[in-house]
Amino acid sequence: MKAEHINPFLKSTIETFKTMVGLTVTPGKLYLRKEPGNSDISGVIGLSGDIRGAVVMAYPLDTAIKLSSKFMGEEIKELNAAVADCIGELANIITGFAKKDLQSLHLSISLPSIVRGQNHVVDMPKDAPVMCIPFESEMGGFIMEISMVDK
C-alpha cells in the first residue's frame, strides 16, 4: 500500500467530519494492525477495481452515539438503527470523496455494511497489510482501517 493511496482517505475524513458533522478531527500516528481494537460499531466499505480491499471506520459506542446525535440533529441515547445508518453513511461519504483522488485505480466502492459487537474484528484480505489511522475529537476517538492489495 502506497502513501499516496492513504492521503486521500486522511483528507476526506478531516473534510467530511468538518462539513457534515461540524467537528474537527485530528489524525494520530499511522500503524499496522496487529490485533483488534476496542470498537463497538464499524462502517465497512469494500473496494474493487485495480485493487481489492476495504475501508473500515471503527467507533467505540459512546463516540458513535455522540457523532450520530450531532449528524442527525437529534439526541440519540442508545445504539439503534439510526446510529447504524449514520455510521454507514459517514463511511460511504468518506470513501466516496477519497475515491475522487484515486481515479488512476479505477475504484468501485460497495454499499456500506455495518458490523456491531464489542471488540469485533473486520477481516481484511489476508495478503494485505491493514493500516490504522487513529483520530481524536471532542466527541471521542475512532479508527480508520485501510487495506488494499493489487489484483
Comparing CA positions, the residue from 61, 89, 91, 88 lying closest to residue 76 is 61
Q: What is the pLDDT of residues 38-54, one digit of tens each?
A: 799 999 999 998 888 99
Q: Tell whether the model's pLDDT for residue 4 goes beyond 80.
A: no
**pLDDT tens-digit map of 100-132:** 988 888 899 999 999 999 888 888 877 888 999
80 CB burial (10 A radius; 0-12, 13-18, 19+) = exposed
**Separation of CA 86 from chain center:** 12
- Give the largest Cα separation in the chain, rounded: 44
Q: 3-class DSSP state for residue 89? A: helix
Three-state SS for 93?
A: helix
Cell of 110: 460497495
Average pLDDT of the segment spanning 132-148: 95
Q: How many helices (H) and strands (E) does the chain have?
A: 3, 8
Instruction: Count the residues in the chain.
Output: 151
Does the 3-150 domain belong in CATH 3.40.1550.10? yes
Query: In this predicted model, what pLDDT tens digit does every residue of 83-97 receive, in sequence order?
Result: 999 999 999 999 999
* Alpha carbons 105 and 149: distance in angstroms, whole number: 11
Please report the pLDDT score of residue 147 as a whole number: 93
Select from 112, 94, 114 the least CA-distant residue to 42. 114
Query: What are the boundaries of each domain within the chain?
Result: 3-150
For the record, the C-alpha cell of 128 comes out as 494485505
pTM: 0.93
Helix (H) or strand (E) holding 52: strand 51-59
Indicate the DSSP class of residue 50: S
